[in-house]
Structure 1
Amino acid sequence: MLECTCIDAVLRSCRAHPTELQPCRNGSDGEFSGDEAAANARVDDGSLSARAHSWLSAAMSPISALQERRAEDQARQQRIAVLKAGAEMKLLGAREATRVRVALSSDGAMITWQSVRGEGGASSESGVIALAMIREIRPVMSGGLGALLGARPVPLQWMLVADEETVKFETETETQKETWMASLEELSKRQADAKVDRKIGYMAKRRLGLEERRREAERRKAAVLQSCGAVGMKHTAQAMMSRT
């Protein structure tokens, strides 16, 4: 009973003097101490700074993405320029290797090669492969007895695998080999994707055309039936009368 009486007394005192249990203030009631005010100011400044940083990041995000795309386009154009300038390589045939100049066509759609002039007795070689027809670009792997120990890339040699032919080249350096393989792989993929997109667009356009022609045929049929309905009913009545 004594504990209950004490608790009740404390509760009554809190209700009668609520301000006595408030945190310590410095100065008049309702004002924070200097430390508390400074802490609150730091919190507010930090919150505002975080929000400002978030807003700025959101505003700059499209600009950053645009800058990245521009940088990628510039780098791709530089790689394309290198391929269009061309390079001398060896075209590896079944019996002999012919020195040729390999280059990307001016429209960027085909890889071409032409024999280098000035080689006495060398057979003339030339060819072209559309990038969209290339299925694989990879290094030439070792064959023969060496393949029994595990096939390995032959230094400087790489190949284009198309639907109907395979062409092998030998570069002057490994750097040149890697550059041409990577750049042609990228361009070939873009050409293949563009071809698929064109095919999808053609099929979609064709379906729309067929649907439009079907609707037009339905409209014509309805118009004909409507214009001939009265005449048709008259002929039907006459036929029934003649049967009777």
Structure 2
Amino acid sequence: MFSLLKKEISYFFTSPIGMTIIGLFIVLNGLFLFVFKSDYNILNAGFADMLPFFRLSSWIFVFLVPALTMRSISEEKKSGMLALLFTKPVSTLQIVLGKYLGILFLLLIILLPSVLYVYVVWVLGNPVGNLDVAGTVGSYIALFLLIATFAAVGLWASAISANQIISFVLAAFLCFFFFFGADQLITLIADDFNGFGFQTHFDAISRGVIDTRNVVYFLSIIAFFIYLTTLSLKAYKR
């Protein structure tokens, strides 16, 4: 399992996709937070707050995470390496977890540069340091749980197709639907029913209050898609 984790990390840093994803994340955030005149621009907000960064990042990751996961298993299928992995003394679940943990580590690496934004907002505060620390920490936890859930969805999409493009499109669609579309669709059916989609739980944790129900929700979705991915590989193995 750990060899698969190291392989994911090694591929990320030795292939163009790794630096491309990190570059896109930094550039897009930088442009919207400090250059473009938009609702996300921190300089135009009138107060020091990291909320625009977390809201913007959640949408960026809807597409960046599928781009990161699309090759994880699809490429192994196409190259024949997956069949070789099945001959090793490692279980199907360990293969899936090795891939998944590798992706989570890479997502942490992608998030690291955002610490610079926290410093900038800290300095821009009046007085300096006038930043909601609890809300910022809660938002980081919420964002990581969200992208970890996106990663589980993307890994499953990669497991059911040997075509990376199909895996990306399917994962991006599902991430978008569960993040934004699910609650919107359910609201049309029943106004008093909400909380099914990712965004509701993400927003709840972002307020700085870590409710175990929201954490359990994300962990349950992650476990469900990890299970589906394992089933897909077992079916392929047969």
TM-score (normalised: structure 1): 0.23
Higher strand fraction: Structure 1 or Structure 2?
A: 1
Report the structure, 1 or 2, having the larger helix content: 2
Look at both structures and tell me which one has the larger radius of gyration over its CA atoms: 1
| TM-score when normalising by structure 2 | 0.23
